[in-house]
Amino acid sequence: MADINIIELAKDLNLSKSTVSRAFRNNSGINKETKERILARARELNFTPNHHASNLRIQKSNTIAVIVPEIANNFFSKAINGIEQVAKKNGYSVLICLTDDEFEKEVSFVQNLSNGKVDGIIMSVSGEEQDHSYLKMLQKKNIPLVFFDRVYEDIETAKVTTNDYESSFLATEHLLQQGCKRIAYLVVNKNLSIGKTRMQGYLDALDKYGIETDDNLVVDCSNELTQNISILSDTFSKLRPDGVFASVERLAIATYYTCMELNISIPEQVKVIGFSGLEIAPLLNPALSTIIQPAYNMGLEAADVLFKILADDETKADFATRKVVLNSELIQRKSSAVGTM
Amino acid sequence: MADINIIELAKDLNLSKSTVSRAFRNNSGINKETKERILARARELNFTPNHHASNLRIQKSNTIAVIVPEIANNFFSKAINGIEQVAKKNGYSVLICLTDDEFEKEVSFVQNLSNGKVDGIIMSVSGEEQDHSYLKMLQKKNIPLVFFDRVYEDIETAKVTTNDYESSFLATEHLLQQGCKRIAYLVVNKNLSIGKTRMQGYLDALDKYGIETDDNLVVDCSNELTQNISILSDTFSKLRPDGVFASVERLAIATYYTCMELNISIPEQVKVIGFSGLEIAPLLNPALSTIIQPAYNMGLEAADVLFKILADDETKADFATRKVVLNSELIQRKSSAVGTM
DNA sequence: TTGTAAGCGTTATCAG
DNA sequence: CTGATAACGCTTACAA
């Protein structure tokens, strides 16, 4: 109940509330000394203007939302880190929304956020095969949207992605050059555009090297480790691939666990490469060859684009449909090496 | 500009805004049919009540903040995951604040949040040696605070921690039982209570086994990998420890990198154990012995306590100073094994 | 430079 | 069950 508002502070200082209000804004014409006096007293009384009142008044929340499938994940936590850094610099707060990869939650978050709670949204999507018209609402309400990594192709908005096709092509080509003939492609959801794009790189590389595609070698996995191990055990025993290309980090890990269980030696019996940002890839047994996405920088870029749109100057329209493509980096390590190193 | 408010919606429906408002609350006495009619029309027009207006009115934000040193980190990202799950279930949003381990940012976040922006705060602290009186403000403004993992001992509030002393004691004892005589304790900041507590477990275990303490074996590291490698290289060449107990994950990783560089073999020349929640600890070369903190569950617990306090019933006071201690789990793997496995 | 007053879009109280 | 009206705490023309 020790709550104090601008009126009481004004009374305390024998000023009007408008003058006090001005002290908290930079632009307004106000006497330097009165301003000092006000701020000093405010500090004493622990007063700062109520967020909701001023947000209501100025129709702005100074908050952005990040909607992602998960957070306990190398890639997303780094991306969020990047986003938060930019937000902090701009005086914005960051709301975290985890969809758990469920489209319904994504929709419900967006709906819940569209009433002024946030000024903009950065999202990595979870419902490619669904109806995306619910996003129209954001446009109507003038809430800018930036996609990163996982995007909806049919929605025309700002997007920050990586060169997935090229990376996948190169990764597959790398395995081929190391002598692999039967390369398995592991994917979590074939229908996600990101899975498709990466798969296309894989397919085209095979094609370039004149390798026949075996549909069974495209393995649909899940997000659950034990389940993946069982799926992969099956694949390994039935199809005996000599190479594995994991389209996401957790599938590379599942591959390692499976090989450990089945006593399959990497890279002698099967060579492995995967998308992954693990700092400890070199410490794995054996060191894992990786394609590293610049997760942190993607966050930075996505946030940068969003704030450019929010800045609302002439360039705004330009950024509203901006496409940024960052490059991933392929690093060869022992898991895809020839012979015994 | 397609923005619609409750008044226009009311006009559209030939009703008063109070009736329309009631349709969006559950409790209020309102005719079922009119309510349906209102909600239907609202859906058509994409209307839901403005957040700031209602927050201002009801003096509540339905938002909590999580203040942590970093997010691109196994432990914190899992904890946040837990927190978000609980928040979502309670209809709350989660604001993420990253202090980058800087006390000033922590203070500035708390100050910024204390004006109604959030209803409660969950925090893992970054300024043990600083003045914590700034937190008094939260009490005055009736914003509940729950600490987790890293806490301020001098602040009486709800706390969720793990049994750090016991875990450290057991980890050190484990190394001793494996035959180590010169065990290094790696810590990022000796002054943090969490570092102190863990160190005490280490010291007491040494004592129990009649091992003289060598102050040089308590190694103060940083958060930066390359820096840590150089610090550890120094330690290894000068002090030749036969055991390493890493008080946080990144120091276990730094130890591995250092040993790799110096060609020191784990566990033959030095046995290693560390706090870590890495799913891939078994896949490292060699598999890393770990003490696993229940990060996700800590998040769950911390959020549970916070919402119990926010529920504001008789038990509130009880939870406001609740102490929850969860157990970590020690898992022995090859990095601390005897002989060559 | 400061003060007055009109809103921002809700919700809650009180009549009807 | 519904409607009028007064807050909630702040910002911003406009006036002084």
Residue B292 has a pLDDT of 98
B217 Cβ contact list (under 8 Å, min separation 6): B182, B183, B184, B185, B239, B241
Of B51, B285, B296, the CB nearest to A115: B51
Please choose, from the candidates A164, A198, A173, A211, the residue with its C-alpha nearest in 3D space to the C-alpha of residue A336.
A173
Q: Is B192 exposed, middle or buried (0-12, 13-18, 19+ CB in 10 A)?
A: buried
pLDDT at A340: 52
Q: Please give the pLDDT value at position B313.
A: 77
Task: Give me the pLDDT at residue A3, please.
Answer: 73
CB spacing of B283 vs A285 below 8 angstroms = yes
Residues 43-72 of A with CB under 7 A from strand C: 53, 56-57, 59
pLDDT for the residue B1: 31
Give chain B positions within 8 Å (CB) of A93. Answer: 95, 97, 112, 117
- Checking if the pLDDT of A2 tops 60, the result is no
Which residue does chain B place closest to A62, by CA atoms?
B117
**Contact call for residues A46 and B140 (beta carbons, < 8 A):** yes
Q: In this predicted structure, which of B28-37, B76-85, B228-237 has the lowest mean pLDDT?
A: B28-37
Chain A residues near residue B256 by CB distance under 8 angstroms: 280, 283
Q: Which helix (H) or strand (E) holds B219?
A: strand B218-220
Residue B226 belongs to what H/E stretch?
A: helix B225-239
The share of chain A scoring above pLDDT 70, in percent, equals 98
What average pLDDT does the structure give for chain A? 94
For residue B107, is pLDDT > 70? yes
Q: What is the mean pLDDT of residues A204-229?
A: 95
Per-residue pLDDT tens digits for A122-170 = 999 999 889 999 999 999 899 999 999 999 999 999 999 999 999 999 9
Distance B166 CA to C8 C1' (A): 56
* CB atoms A70 and B53 under 8 Å: no
Chain A residues near residue B285 by CB distance under 8 angstroms: 283-287
Q: Do B71 and A61 touch (CB under 8 A)?
A: no
* Chain A CA closest to residue B118: A51
Residue B234 reports pLDDT greater than 80? yes
Residue tagged 């914590």 (tokens): B132
CATH number of A63-161+295-326: 3.40.50.2300
Q: What's the CA–C1' distance between A11 and D6, in Å? A: 22
Q: Exposed, middle or buried by CB within 10 Å (0-12, 13-18, 19+), for B185?
A: buried
Which residue of B1, B3, B77 is in closest CB contact with A71?
B77
pLDDT digits (tens, 9 = 90+) for A231-278: 999 999 999 999 999 999 999 999 999 999 999 999 999 999 999 999
CA of A320 to C1' of C5 (A): 39
CA dihedral A102, A105, A107, A113 (to 10 degrees): -140
When CB atoms are compared, the residue of A88, A115, A284 closest to B49 is: A115
Percent of all residues in chain B with a pLDDT value above 90, rounded to a whole number: 88
Look at residue A28 in the predicted model and tell me its pLDDT.
Answer: 67
Indicate where chain B has its CATH 1.10.260.40 domain(s).
6-57
**A91 to chain B: nearest residue by CA?**
B112
User: What's the topology of domain A6-57?
Assistant: 434 Repressor (Amino-terminal Domain) (1.10.260)
DSSP A99: -
Assigned CATH class of A164-292+329-336:
alpha beta
Question: Would you say residue A56 has pLDDT above 90?
Answer: yes
Please check the confidence at residue A1 and state whether its pLDDT lies above 50.
no
Contacts of B160 (CB under 8 A, 6+ apart): B146, B147, B148, B149, B298, B301, B302, B305, B324, B325, B326
- B244 Cβ nearer than 7 Å to chain C strand: no
Q: Kindly report which listed range (A31-40, A55-64, B296-305) carries the lowest average pLDDT score.
A: A31-40
Q: CA-CA distance, B335 to B341, in Å (whole number)?
A: 10
**CB–CB contact A48 B116 (8 Å):** no
Give mean pLDDT, residues A108-125: 96
Using DSSP, state whether B275 is helix, strand or coil.
strand
Q: How far is the CA of A5 from the C1' of D5 (A)?
A: 23
Percent of chain B with pLDDT over 70: 98
Q: What is the mean pLDDT of residues B101-111?
A: 96
CB-based contact B73:A71 (threshold 8 Å) = no
Residues 6 or more apart in contact with residue A36 via CB below 8 angstroms: none
**Has residue A22 got a pLDDT over 50?**
yes
CATH 3.40.50.2300 spans which residues of chain B? 63-161+295-326, 164-292+329-336
Per the structure block, which two tokens stand in for A324?
Answer: 């940024």
Helix or strand (DSSP H, E) at A325: strand A323-326
Residue type, B212: E
Element spanning A194, H or E: helix A193-208
pLDDT at B312: 74
pLDDT value, residue A312: 74
In the prediction, which pLDDT does A341 show?
46
Residue of B nearest to A63 (CA): B95
Q: How far is the CA of A15 from the C1' of C3 (A)?
A: 9
